Amino acid sequence: MQRSVITLILFLLSAQCGFAGNITIGTSLIYTKTNDPSFDYIDETSDIEKPKSLLVGYGTNYKNIYLNVATNRLLSRREKKEVLIGDRVFISKAKLTYDSFQLGYRYNRLIPNIIGINAKLTRAVNGFTKTNYVFLRGVGLNIILTEDIIFNSFYILPNKEIYLEGGAGIGITYNY
């Protein structure tokens, strides 16, 4: 709710200040490495073969300052991994929902940026569910391909609370 209010305020302020932005829609492929002692994963890397969510947001550019807020709460899929408990294999299901904030500076077609992510990670294994709320940080580089299409690359810094050793990804965003 707090993130929605911030997004609405930014939208209204940008329209009032004369630097109205665009609604953005995008998706990304993300690779993460975790080392959670609660679960003995057979493979601790994420499945990057298909996008896990659809991002919807709002982006604006004012005097080369780039700002984008987005969320994947509308459409987010669970990731499944095999977990070894004793000598039996179970399926772990994890779902990540988040609100993200990018702030950067535009140099021609390049936008280096810093990223803040307010995330909720829910994992379920064999009837046991664990939910973490964390704030993740990262850095990114966006490349403007056309007026409406932006290529994104990013790195997410490690986080001890969710046993994240790091993450990286690439994505594509369309601006309306």
Question: What are the φ/ψ torsions at residue 109 (nearest 5 degrees)?
Answer: -100, 0
Burial of 81 (0-12, 13-18, 19+ CB in 10 A): buried
Higher pLDDT residue, 3 or 42? Answer: 42
b/e string for 111-125 if b means 16 or more Cβ within 10 A? bebebebbbebebbb
Q: Please tell me the number of Cα atoms within 13 Å of 9 on its side-chain side.
A: 6
Higher pLDDT residue, 74 or 117? Answer: 117
Name the DSSP class of 35. Answer: -
pLDDT of 76-86, one tens digit each?
888 888 888 77
Q: Looking at residue 6, what is its pLDDT?
A: 60
3-class state of residue 145 by DSSP: coil
Higher pLDDT residue, 78 or 143? Answer: 143
Give me the DSSP letters along 60-103. EEETTEEEEEEEEEEEEPPEEEEEEETTEEEEEEEEEEEEEEEE
Structural domains of the chain, count: 1
Q: Looking at residue 110, what is its pLDDT?
A: 97
Higher pLDDT residue, 1 or 55? Answer: 55
Which structural domain range is residue 22 located in? 2-175
Q: Show the tokens assigned to 81.
A: 């991994």
pLDDT of 12-68, one tens digit each?
555 555 556 788 999 888 888 888 777 777 765 555 656 778 889 988 888 899 999
Contact present, 71 and 99 (Cβ < 8 Å) = yes
Please list, in sequence order, all residues whose beta carbon lies within 8 angstroms of the beta carbon of residue 86, skipping any fewer than 6 positions away: none
Provide mean pLDDT across the span 131-146: 96
Q: Looking at residue 175, what is its pLDDT?
A: 87
3-class state of residue 52 by DSSP: coil
CA 101 vs. chain centroid, Å, equals 9
* pLDDT band at residue 126 under the 50/70/90 scheme: confident
- pLDDT over threshold 90, residue 112: yes
| Spatial distance between the Cα atoms of 95 and 75, rounded to a whole number of angstroms | 11
Q: Looking at residue 50, what is its pLDDT?
A: 63
pTM assigned to the model: 0.80
**CATH code at position 147:** 2.40.160.20
